[in-house]
Amino acid sequence: MRTIQLTSESQYRRLDAFLAENTNLTRSHIQKVMADGGVTVNGKVVTKASTSVKEDAEIVVTLPDEIPLDIPAQNIPLDIVYQDEHLAVINKPQGMTVHPANNVYTDTLVNALLYHVTDLSGINGVLRPGIVHRLDKDTSGLLVVAKNDVAHVELQKQIQAKTCKRIYWALLEGVLKQDDGIVDAPIGRCPTDRKKMDVVADGRRAQTHYTVVERFATHTLVQFELKTGRTHQIRVHASKVLHHPVVGDKTYGFKAQKFALDGQLLHAKTLSFVHPHTGEQMTFSAPLPDYFQRVLTTLRNKNN
């Protein structure tokens, strides 16, 4: 048995949806755990998935031991930026899914971690060992992986408390007018396409800070700092609020792209957190991938 402890930041529509976004468990898994009496809110067992979460509620999820699945360790090249006995920092390439899902059990970051890293925390079960936070498949860059449950819990607390600093660089279509600003717009499931996210009135609060790094004649290189961690947050805010979608993003941007890319030009460039064991402030940076740099070089040459 293992437990996950959470404190809600604000009122949310449904308990199962809140837990799905804050534990990396699927909603169907959570609903089963709730039906079995495995979720308490302020000390009381809650079995109804649609129960509303109140601000500052103390939520405990007790998960039974899972039946091991055959998730193979694969010798996939992995850029391990740093590791010790408690955690590892990975520079994930574009095109790699973080963990198995939807009957896909190979070629993910988890498969590579099982080969290259000896120990991983078990809080998120056999499908997502060690996974504290995620990046979209076609987003490159830094993420931290926990090697034990104590480290996992402490790192998740930092993400929830917004003390874990995550900075991304993205190339946007068009030219932004402002040099910097804050996007504060709620994000939830798109009402017409459940596979996509959108800015919706009843969504969860999502806040993104942005600063222009470099301007081109037809594009803008922008630094984004996440203050919340909603699904597809930067991509949605860039497209739906700033009206300058990320280059290469066919889901939220232009279907016809000017550059030959395999995904969006969005890179998790800097990651900063307090080490869960030593208390040391740690900051890591990953350079922009070659394909990202090539597009920037092309734009700079056109500027000249």
Q: Cα(268)–Cα(144) distance, rounded to whole angstroms? A: 11
Residues 6+ apart with CB under 8 A from 281: 272, 273, 274, 275
Nearest residue to 13 (alpha-carbon basis) of 157, 172, 204, 187 = 204
Task: Clarify whether 198 is annotated catalytic.
Answer: no
CA dihedral for 75, 97, 259, 167, sign (positive or negative): negative
DSSP 118: S
- Catalytic position from the list 16, 136, 138, 249: 136
Residues 6+ apart with CB under 8 A from 279: none
Region for residue 43 given its phi and psi (left: phi exceeds 0; alpha: psi -120 to 50; beta: otherwise): left
DSSP 49: T
- Catalytic residue set: 136
